[in-house]
């Protein structure tokens, strides 16, 4: 090792003592979001900025509203009759609840992966090709083949299934099915991927593969993940928002939340003192 | 940890409390070794010196125990936030306390060699230095048991007092050696003992820093505290 001069040492010490600050652009901006199921208020005025190309974890005890909030981000709550959303949610500056917004397009831009893998009862190829076809993203069969291959590759599944693309998607293992669902979401060129407990039905190996994938996907997509596993939130996310009783208790970078949270409710929850 | 409720899994609480209890026990044992060693040095009590040396073994095994328990808690519970700091803190504290025991043992070994042939004035100096260091150790261990950050900071600030008493004792011992070369052997041993006591004071400040970290989640002294940073480097 080269000998450092005292000045160099001082500079290195200064560099080490400064926490690295990454410039973050806000991808999703939500203000005063309320969600009602009939008379019951499930989300009570949430303000949350979700940074672009980062993984944001939503944590909190069951019934705290984190999944409800996640579902607001691609208007999945529209499918529930008694559900009403107020407030403002913008993605890239566009109000997604504006009447002019096409919900089908929105859900292509904001893809979603669910708790239980839910491939269509079709071939692996068709599972991925379906979205691009109905959205008219492929002009030819070659285009479509390319989208399918790229999506499966990005989802880390291509090498495992390339020889049996015609086999039914439902015949894959749980972990592979979940990656197939991720490939299906990616195929329609989203910019945001929402994940609602994507690993809760998977074994530790499949979980590790999906977590690795989440880390790779972060390069191209903004990811919002709901998880009940504190360790998973600590491993995969850069930002964490703690929900409790329909409110955000604390929102900070993940390292801070899991080493030195400022709110007692966060501390109690993540250390297993309630919830 | 005092202001937090209980874990849903009660065994987790028991494990953490077990570790804290062991640290407190280690602290008591380290204080005892130090007291016995210096007392043996000043009074030329060989048996007491042997007791101090043997006592260090107990401290070593307590440290191993704490470290093993801490590793088990990490494996079983994957602690986060204050629980994590508690565990990381316990590992650091056990190392510092174990070192205090080692330094005490070093003094006890010197006591066996010197065997009571100490100039009364020099003995007074060592005694004064030891009183200061013992008080620091006691205060910092109390601060740990009571989660008293202010008291820990007070210990941290008072270390400079030990440093200056040590420096004046150092000069005093040099004077004795120059006055009477026959004193060189015993005074050199006393110098080592004084250095050991001064180092015990440094470990007390390390412990104070760890207590601050456990409770506040931040390093002490805070970044930008140039004087503090420089002082922290003497350990």
> Range with the lowest mean pLDDT among A92-101, A106-115, B20-29, B112-121?
B112-121
Sort strands A94-95 and A83-91 into parallel, antiparallel or unpaired.
antiparallel
For chain B positions 62-81, those within 8 Å of chain A (CB to CB) are: 77-81
Q: Return the percentage of chain B with pLDDT > 70, whole number.
A: 93
Query: Which two three-digit tokens encode residue A256?
Result: 């801070």
- pLDDT, residue B233, reads 43
ipTM passes above 0.90: no
Q: What is the pLDDT of residues A173-189, one digit of tens each?
A: 999 999 999 999 999 99
Beta carbons of A258 and B80 less than 8 Å apart:
yes
Phi-psi group of A163: left, alpha or beta (phi > 0 → left; psi -120 to 50 → alpha; rest → beta)? alpha
pLDDT above 90: residue A107: yes
Q: What distance in Å separates residue A271's CA from the closest CA in chain B?
A: 6
For chain A positions 256-275, those within 8 Å of chain B (CB to CB) are: 257-261, 264, 266-268, 270-275
- pLDDT, residue A19, reads 58
pLDDT above 90: residue B132: yes
Q: Tokens 């210096």 identify what position? A: B38
Q: How many CB atoms lie within 10 A of CB A25?
A: 11
* 8 A C-beta contact, residue A242 and residue A265: yes
Q: What distance in Å separates residue A209's CA from the closest CA in chain B?
A: 20
Q: Which of B4, B77, B81 to mutate to test the interface with A (most CBs of A within 10 A)?
A: B81
Q: Quick one: closest CA in B to A230, which residue?
A: B80
Distance CA(B109)–CA(B35), nearest Å, equals 14
Nearest to B84 among A17, A259, A264 (CB): A259
Beta carbons of B85 and A270 less than 8 Å apart:
no
Q: A247 burial class (0-12, 13-18, 19+ CB within 10 angstroms)?
A: middle
Query: What secondary structure letter does DSSP report for A28?
Result: E
More confident residue, A210 or B228: A210
Mean residue pLDDT across chain A: 92
Torsion of CA A182, A170, A67, A264, to 10 degrees: -80
Phi-psi group of A152: left, alpha or beta (phi > 0 → left; psi -120 to 50 → alpha; rest → beta)? alpha
Distance CA(A10)–CA(B67), nearest Å, equals 34
- What is the pTM (predicted TM-score) of this model? 0.82
Query: Which two three-digit tokens encode residue A66?
Result: 């984190």
More confident residue, B224 or B86: B86
Which of A13-22, A152-161, B71-80, B133-142 has the highest mean predicted lDDT (pLDDT)?
Answer: B133-142
Give the N- to C-terminal CA distance of chain A in Å, as an integer.
50
ω into residue B221 within 30 of 0, thus cis? yes
Q: Quick one: closest CA in A to B215, which residue?
A: A260
Phi/psi for B133 (5° steps) reads: -65, -40
pLDDT above 90: residue B16: yes
Beta carbons of A273 and B9 less than 8 Å apart:
no
- pLDDT, residue B1, reads 45
- pLDDT, residue A273, reads 87
Q: Please give the average per-residue pLDDT across B148-158, as a whole number.
A: 96
CB-based contacts of A261, cutoff 8 Å, min separation 6 = A242, A250, A252, A267, A270, B81
Distance CA(B51)–CA(B35), nearest Å, equals 11
Q: What distance in Å separates residue B6's CA from the closest CA in chain A?
A: 6
pLDDT above 60: residue A216: yes
Q: Please give the average per-residue pLDDT across A78-107, as a whole number.
A: 94
B43 near A CB under 8 A: no
Q: Quick one: closest CA in A to B5, which residue?
A: A273
- pLDDT, residue B224, reads 64
Q: What is the pLDDT of residues B95-124, one digit of tens each?
A: 999 999 999 999 999 999 887 677 788 888
B82 near A CB under 8 A: yes
B8 near A CB under 8 A: yes
pLDDT-derived band at B235 (thresholds 50, 70, 90) equals: very low
């Amino acid at each position: 090792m080269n000998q450092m001069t005292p000045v160099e040492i001082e500079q290195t010490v200064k560099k080490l003592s400064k926490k690295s600050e990454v410039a973050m652009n806000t991808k999703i901006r939500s203000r005063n979001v309320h969600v009602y199921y009939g008379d019951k208020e499930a989300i009570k005025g949430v303000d949350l900025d979700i940074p672009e190309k980062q993984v944001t974890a939503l944590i909190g005890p069951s019934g705290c509203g984190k999944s409800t909030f996640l579902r607001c981000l691609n208007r999945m709550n529209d499918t529930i009759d008694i559900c009403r959303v107020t407030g403002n949610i913008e993605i890239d500056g566009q109000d997604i609840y504006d009447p002019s917004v096409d919900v089908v397009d929105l859900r292509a831009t904001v893809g979603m992966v669910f708790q239980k893998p839910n491939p269509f009862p079709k071939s692996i190829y068709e599972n991925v090709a379906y979205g691009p076809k109905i959205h008219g993203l492929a002009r030819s069969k070659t285009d479509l083949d390319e989208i399918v291959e790229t999506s499966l590759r990005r989802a880390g599944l291509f090498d495992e299934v390339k020889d049996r693309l015609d086999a039914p998607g439902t015949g894959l293992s749980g972990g592979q099915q979940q990656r197939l669902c991720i490939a299906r979401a990616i195929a329609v060129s989203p910019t945001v991927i929402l994940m609602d407990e994507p690993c809760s039905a998977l074994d530790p190996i499949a979980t590790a593969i999906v977590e690795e994938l989440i880390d790779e996907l972060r390069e191209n997509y903004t990811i919002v993940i709901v998880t009940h596993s504190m360790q998973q939130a600590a491993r995969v996310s850069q930002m964490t928002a703690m929900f409790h009783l329909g409110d955000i208790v604390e929102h900070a970078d993940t390292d801070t939340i899991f080493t030195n949270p400022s709110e007692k409710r966060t501390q109690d929850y993540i250390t297993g003192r309630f919830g | 940890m005092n202001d937090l409720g209980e874990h849903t899994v009660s065994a987790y609480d028991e494990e953490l409390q077990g570790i804290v209890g062991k640290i407190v026990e280690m602290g008591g044992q380290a204080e005892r070794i130090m007291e016995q060693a210096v007392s043996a040095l000043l009074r030329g009590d060989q048996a007491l010196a042997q007791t101090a040396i043997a006592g260090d073994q107990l401290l070593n095994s307590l440290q191993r125990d704490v470290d093993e328990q801490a590793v088990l808690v990490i494996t079983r519970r994957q602690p986060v936030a204050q629980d994590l700091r508690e565990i990381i803190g316990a590992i650091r504290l056990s190392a510092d306390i174990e070192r205090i025991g080692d330094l005490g043992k070093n003094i006890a070994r010197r006591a066996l060699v010197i065997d009571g042939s100490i100039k009364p004035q020099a003995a007074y100096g060592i005694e004064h230095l030891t009183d200061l260091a013992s008080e620091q150790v006691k205060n910092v261990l109390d601060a740990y048991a009571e989660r008293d950050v202010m008291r820990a900071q007070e210990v941290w600030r008072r270390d400079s007092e030990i440093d200056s008493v040590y420096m004046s004792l150092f000069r005093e011992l040099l004077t004795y050696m120059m006055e009477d070369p026959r004193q060189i052997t015993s005074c050199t041993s006393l110098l080592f003992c004084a250095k050991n006591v001064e180092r015990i004071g440094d470990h007390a400040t390390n412990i104070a820093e760890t207590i601050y970290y456990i409770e506040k989640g931040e390093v002490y002294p805070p970044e930008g505290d140039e004087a503090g940073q420089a002082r922290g480097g003497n350990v």
